[in-house]
Amino acid sequence: MKKQAFGTITMLSFLLVLAAVSTNAQRLSDNSIAVNIPFAFALGETNLPAGKYTLRRIVLPSSYDRLVIQSADGRGASHTGMTRPNRTSEVQKQSNLVFNRYGDQYFLSQVWMAGSDTGRDLFQSRNERNLAKESKLARTKSDYQKVVLTASKQ
């Protein structure tokens, strides 16, 4: 009797773990996009070259999530940035990356996933804050521009 109960509990535990892994894998695949970025850019304090990238959102228990970016071929290190939610009234029809451009420098600013009404804002790096401040002090927005790239579901 004890042997049968132990076997049942073990099997249920195994199924529960399997379901959790499957659900987590599904969430990760729903949070992945691919994009070709035709210019060098910064993610936080890290400068990255132009190229094809995969972006993945890792959902954390708090409202702050982690964005992981890696070259599409899987070579090289992956880089991360912390994000905070940015809600809109409409569900996004396509996945987009928004960059802030100051002169010839690009900074990844937002990531929007198709099918969601919540985008992710990345925190500004020290360099971007300084450039934004300089742009405001010069009282000109000619050096500042938002650049939007469309991404595809992974």
Mean pLDDT of 62-78: 90
Q: Are 89 and 69 in contact (CB under 8 A)?
A: no
Bridge partners (DSSP) of residue 122 are 83
| pTM of the model as a whole | 0.76
pLDDT digits (tens, 9 = 90+) for 9-67: 655 455 454 344 333 433 444 689 999 999 999 999 999 999 999 999 999 998 889 99
pLDDT digits (tens, 9 = 90+) for 137-152: 766 656 789 999 999 9
Bridge partners (DSSP) of residue 81 are 67
pLDDT digits (tens, 9 = 90+) for 31-46: 899 999 999 999 999 9
In this structure, the chain runs to a length of 154
Residue 2: C-alpha distances to residues 8, 14, 108 (Å): 10, 18, 58
